[in-house]
Amino acid sequence: MKREGYLSGLAGQAGVFLAFFVAWEVFVRGTGMKEVILPTPTATFATLWAKRAYLLGHTWPTVVAIVVGFLIAAASGFLIAIGIAYSRWINELTYPFLVAAQVVPKIALAPLFLIWFGVGVLPKVVIAALIAFFPIVINTAKGLTSVEPELLQFMHSLGATWREVFFKISLPWALPYVFAACKISITLAVVGAVVGEFIASDVGLGYVINYANITLETKTMFAGLLLLSAVGILLFLAIVLLERYCLSWQASVETTPETL
Amino acid sequence: MPDAPRIRIEDLDVRYRTRDGWVSALEGITLDVVPRSFVSVVGPSGCGKTTLLKVVSGILRPSGGRVLLDGGPIDPVALAGQFGFVFQRPLLLPWRTALDNVALTAEIVQKERPRADRLAEARRWLELTGLKGFEGRYPHELSGGMQQRVSLARALTFRPRVLLMDEPFAALDEITREAMQGELLKIWAHIENTIVFITHSISEAVLLSERVVILTPRPGRVQEILDVPFPRPRSEALRGERGFTELVEHIRARLRVEGASGGPQG
């Protein structure tokens, strides 16, 4: 029963994509829109296939920038969250600054990073990391501090060390929060890396999209966009799979396997 | 001296600070709890019952008076692992199976003991609490009553000297609650722990315990300490006996008088 539900869920999800592409195709053909304004999905997929070597060659640098930026954000966010969760001093000192830093639009800093770091890998990794960082900190800190105080008191009355409490109780308790944050952050890292490539890169899908836009090769631009969303979806799925593996005890809690 | 108290509470005061100044939660509590005995504390909500448990287990420092465990002061470091807790909610770890949840406490208290040994002991307690066959289930796969049994097994598996229960059955439905009371009576026959049991159910206190301590509402003071004369082992059949009903009525009257004159009840 469950397997059937899962498969029909997948079929439904594929159906939504298909309906979207069909509507798009019908719209473009029906309105007679010019290819340079909006190419049909069939033309886009044809371009994707024709230029596959060029496009895939530019996909890899973008993936690296997203993943590296995300990992930096996850690692540093996690450590700072531990500080915030366990030290009132760190919490009160850093929280206002974190919020202030978060409201600065990181995308607007991209031109500055071009000046600081030049053209290359660094600016896009930095933007991706900065933009992905905040949800990790907030969620992890929230997860670590949401452990039931009575349970902690019990553990302390047993003589549990800080280490035992952290690894046996608090960390696993916070993991669902951490994964929820990672899912948001990985998609933000995609945005960050692409913005970096718009401004300070001569490789990557962001560069391809920007360049195709300038040269009015709209089909290539759309092909790049499709590839970029495919990358984003795959990275998101990778986190979902990791989450399923780490939180396998939750497996039977979930009633709708199609919700990611 | 066979009756040397396991827990001795002497003239205990607990005050805490609020925006409106100092509030007294417990005042002049004096109480001895004999080893292997079952003592219930009843009182209206907000009379400091939970505060009393926290002081007894060393989580909270008293403002005045003292608490002794087997004649020695309550020192959180030296007394690590002497208290088992059961709370109103089971507070199990959702990523651990029932068996691993029970074994958690022994993992911390009895590190030198081999793991297989600890698990065997945990399995034994699950069996005693009526959960044989559910060892591999996760908490969310168990009913509320079953979760509370796991919680009880977890509190007993490392053989603490004292078992502290803070309204453990209050969140259960009435049928499950009565079944759990019967279950606890059965388990009590097998264990050597001293039990301090907090409840606001009068009949529960009379059915389960050998002594009932009645507290007054804010600040909590000892109003009366009653001996419950029914012999061990007890069973749920006790509920129908005359002496049982009389005791329940007596306690109810005491709580009502105090509630009427003692200001608002929470």
Distance of CA B99 to the CA centre of its chain: 22
Summarize pLDDT for B143-168 with one digit per residue, the tens: 988 999 999 999 999 888 889 999 99
Q: Which phi and psi (to 5°) does residue B74 adopt? A: -75, 110
| Distance of residue B77 Cα from the nearest chain A Cα, in angstroms | 7
Give the best-scoring range by mean pLDDT among A246-255, B17-26, B131-140.
B131-140
Summarize pLDDT for A122-157 with one digit per residue, the tens: 999 999 999 999 999 999 999 999 999 989 988 988
Q: Does B120 touch chain A (CB under 8 A)?
A: no
Per-residue pLDDT at B1: 47
Give A204's contacts (C-beta < 8 A, 6+ positions apart).
A58, A61, A62, A65, A124, A193, A194, A197
- Bridge partner list, B26: B14, B220
Per-residue pLDDT at B28: 85
Per-residue pLDDT at B7: 86
Q: Is the pLDDT score of B243 beyond 80?
A: yes
Give A241's contacts (C-beta < 8 A, 6+ positions apart).
none
Closest Cβ–Cβ partner in B81, B85, B108 for A164: B108
Summarize pLDDT for A80-119 with one digit per residue, the tens: 999 999 988 998 998 888 888 888 888 888 888 889 998 8
Summarize pLDDT for B36-74 with one digit per residue, the tens: 889 999 987 777 888 888 888 888 888 888 888 888 877
Q: Where are the domains of chain B?
A: 19-82+161-266, 94-160
The arrangement of strands across the sheet holding B194-199 comes to B83-86, B162-166, B194-199, B38-42, B211-215, B222-227
Here the tokens at position B257 are: 């008088």
| A255 confidence band (pLDDT: 50, 70, 90) | very low
**Identity of the residue numbered A243:** E
- For residue A155, the chain B residues in CB contact (below 8 A) are 108
Flag if A153 and B91 touch (Cβ within 8 Å).
Answer: no
Segment A234-259 mean pLDDT? 76
- Contact present, A230 and A150 (Cβ < 8 Å): no
Place of tokens 């919700």: A259
How far is Cα B239 from Cα A59, in angstroms, rounded to an integer? 75
Per-residue pLDDT at B29: 85
Flag if A158 and B158 touch (Cβ within 8 Å).
Answer: yes
Per-residue pLDDT at A55: 94
Cβ-Cβ contacts under 8 Å between A and B: the total is 55
- CATH number of this structure's domain B19-82+161-266: 3.40.50.300
Chain B nearest-CA residue for A253: B140
**Identity of the residue numbered B152:** L
Per-residue pLDDT at A74: 96
How far is Cα A180 from Cα A161, in angstroms, rounded to an integer? 28
Distance of CA B116 to the CA centre of its chain: 29
Give a three-class secondary structure readout of chain B: CCCCCCEEEEEEEEEEEECCEEEEEEEEEEEEECCCCEEEEECCCCCCHHHHHHHHCCCCCCCEEEEEECCEECCCCCCCCCEEEECCCCCCCCCCCHHHHHHHHHHHHCCCCCHHHHHHHHHHHHHHCCCCCCCCCCHHHCCHHHHHHHHHHHHHCCCCCEEEEECCCCCCCHHHHHHHHHHHHHHHCCCCCEEEEEECCHHHHHHHCCEEEEECCCCECEEEEEECCCCCCCCHHHHHCHHHHHHHHHHHHHHHHHHHHCCCCC
Pairing mode, if any, of strands B72-73 and B83-86? Answer: unpaired
Closest Cβ–Cβ partner in A148, A155, A249 for B138: A249
| Distance of residue B207 Cα from the nearest chain A Cα, in angstroms | 27
Mutate to test the interface with A, among B50, B67, B104, B158 (most CBs of A within 10 A): B104
**Cβ atoms < 10 Å from Cβ of B117:** 11
| B126-B149-B156 Cα angle (round to 5) | 65
Summarize pLDDT for B92-131 with one digit per residue, the tens: 999 999 999 999 999 998 888 899 999 999 999 999 888 9
| Distance of residue A147 Cα from the nearest chain B Cα, in angstroms | 10
Q: Is the pLDDT score of B172 beyond 50?
A: yes
Flag if A153 and B59 touch (Cβ within 8 Å).
Answer: yes
| Distance of residue A24 Cα from the nearest chain B Cα, in angstroms | 45
- For residue B87, the chain A residues in CB contact (below 8 A) are 150, 154
Flag if B109 and A158 touch (Cβ within 8 Å).
Answer: yes
Helix axes A171-200, A110-117, angle to 10 degrees: 80
Chain A nearest-CA residue for B94: A249
Strand, coil or helix: what is A25? helix
Chain B nearest-CA residue for A161: B108
How far is Cα B236 from Cα A240, in angstroms, rounded to an integer? 51
- Contact present, B106 and B116 (Cβ < 8 Å): no
Q: Is the pLDDT score of A195 beyond 90?
A: yes
Flag if B158 and A148 touch (Cβ within 8 Å).
Answer: no
Q: What is the pTM of this model?
A: 0.83
CA dihedral (B66, B68, B71, B77) positive or negative: negative
Residues in chain A, total:
260
Flag if A247 and B95 touch (Cβ within 8 Å).
Answer: yes
